[in-house]
Amino acid sequence: METVTLTIKNQPELHLEAETIAPDAFAGKKTEEIADLTVYVGRERHRLGDFFEISGKAGATPEETKIVVNGDLSRVKYIGMKMTGGEVVVNGNADMYVGAWMQGGKLTVNGNVDAFAGTGMKGGELVIKGNAGNYLGAAYRGDWRGMQGGKITVTGNAGSDIGTFMNGGEIVVGGDADVHVATHAEGGKIVIKGNAKSRVGGQMVEGEIYVLGSIDVMMPGFVYREDVDVDMDGIKGRFALYEGDLGERHRKRKGQTIYAKLYQRIEA
């Protein structure tokens, strides 16, 4: 795998839209060609090389290309957008839409990310070794297709509206989550290893939520069923199983109504 290294040299006055920082855009290009890739600040068009020092060599295909991005990227949006393969490593904080509509490969952020990370994600792996903002793995505003596949792992805390309209894939949050987890979800799995606030699973049709800590307010549409033992991906313990959201329409499978499942740990 060949590696291209970007180091930010000029901070944008507003926010830099840099969806071209992805193995798919870099693959098969020379350093000069990568520097000429288009980025935007507001309505103004710029070169990627106007903001980054660029070194190294891209692979022939996305799968053979690794990108390392260094510096304060808190004003740089869309890193890894729609990537289908290869690897991206971000050494610093990043702005919104990291890994948005990602389809494959691996994207690691050694820092915090802002809102809409992994929005509409279909595949691949997104690892955030810090905190994540709102709408992690959620649908784009005005759309009903949230995360459909792949895996998102957050070491720290996550904001509100995680997994809104989620249809598949997995989100693991190592810390706490804010309000509105898996709203309107129709599939997928969310694990919160810390505490959750309120509106967990609101209007959820199908899928699974695991909360290892406390839930401030349980949704009235979820009904306690039984205590169960869980042994899954290193998570073990006794969990209270709730089903819901009973206020929503639900599919039937082999004559049985399918409900979303919410597990809350009661014993480690």
Which residues in the chain land under pLDDT 70?
Answer: none
Which amino acid type is present at position 100?
A
Residue-level pLDDT at 2: 98
d(CA 69, CA 86): 14
Residue-level pLDDT at 141: 85
Residue-level pLDDT at 54: 98
Query: Which of 87, 100, 146, 152 shows the shortest CA–CA distance to 125?
Result: 152
Residue-level pLDDT at 50: 98
Domain range for 251: 115-265
Per residue, the 3-state secondary structure of 51-98, as one string, reads CEEEEECCCCCHHHEEEEEECCECCEECCCCCCCCCEEEEECCECCCC
| pTM assigned to the model | 0.96
In a domain, residue 21? The reply is no
d(CA 186, CA 264): 19
CA distances from 161 to 48, 198, 268 (A): 32, 11, 27
d(CA 188, CA 26): 31
Contact 34, 95 (CB under 8 A): no
In a domain, residue 99? The reply is no
Beta bridge pairs of residue 55: 5
Residue-level pLDDT at 253: 87
**How many Cβ atoms are within 10 Å of 168's Cβ, its own excluded?**
18
Residue-level pLDDT at 144: 85
Contact 130, 149 (CB under 8 A): no
Residue-level pLDDT at 77: 98
In a domain, residue 143? The reply is yes
Residue-level pLDDT at 178: 98
Give how many domains the chain has, as a whole number. 1
In a domain, residue 178? The reply is yes
Residue-level pLDDT at 251: 87
In a domain, residue 119? The reply is yes
d(CA 263, CA 146): 22
